[in-house]
Amino acid sequence: MRSGGSMNSHGRVALWVSILCLILAIGIGPAWSMSQAGSSDSGTQKSASAGNSGSTANQAPANSANTTSKSAGKSAGGAASSSEIAAAKASGKVWVNTESGVYHKSGRWYGKTKSGKFMTESEAKATGYKAAHRE
């Protein structure tokens, strides 16, 4: 046994693995809880938005778009599949990024943002979403 309190290589490796796990838990924890909160039903989101009357300018518009039917678009849970994108393009729908508050008619972000859904352009405008400047 060594004196002076020095660690052997196994002890150092275990310490670094523990530190790495702690760093990952701290970094991933908020993102995990946000993804879990984003998957809640629209009724919960409505009650939360109703209680928050002091909205800020950079928040997405009110969740009245969540009341549209499922045929109006993909739920605000993630990017759409290739078949959903093709069907939406064929029917003339736009992709609404529910986090940023903008919609895309085409381009690289159409159906690809983390949070969004399809709807008609008139529905998007009526809900308060703005057209994306760059595609």
The CA distance from 77 to 20, in Å, is 29
Let me know whether 91 and 132 are in one domain.
Answer: yes
> Other CB atoms closer than 10 Å to residue 61's CB: what's the count?
17
Residue-wise pLDDT for 16-33, tens only, equals 888 877 787 787 766 655
pLDDT of residue 38: 52
Our count of domains for the chain comes to 2
Range of the domain at 16: 9-40
Q: Evaluate if pTM is beyond 0.75.
A: no
Please check whether residue 127 lies inside any domain of the structure.
Answer: yes
Please check whether residue 86 lies inside any domain of the structure.
Answer: yes
pLDDT of residue 9: 81
pLDDT of residue 11: 84
Residue-wise pLDDT for 71-103, tens only, equals 444 445 678 888 999 999 999 999 999 999 999
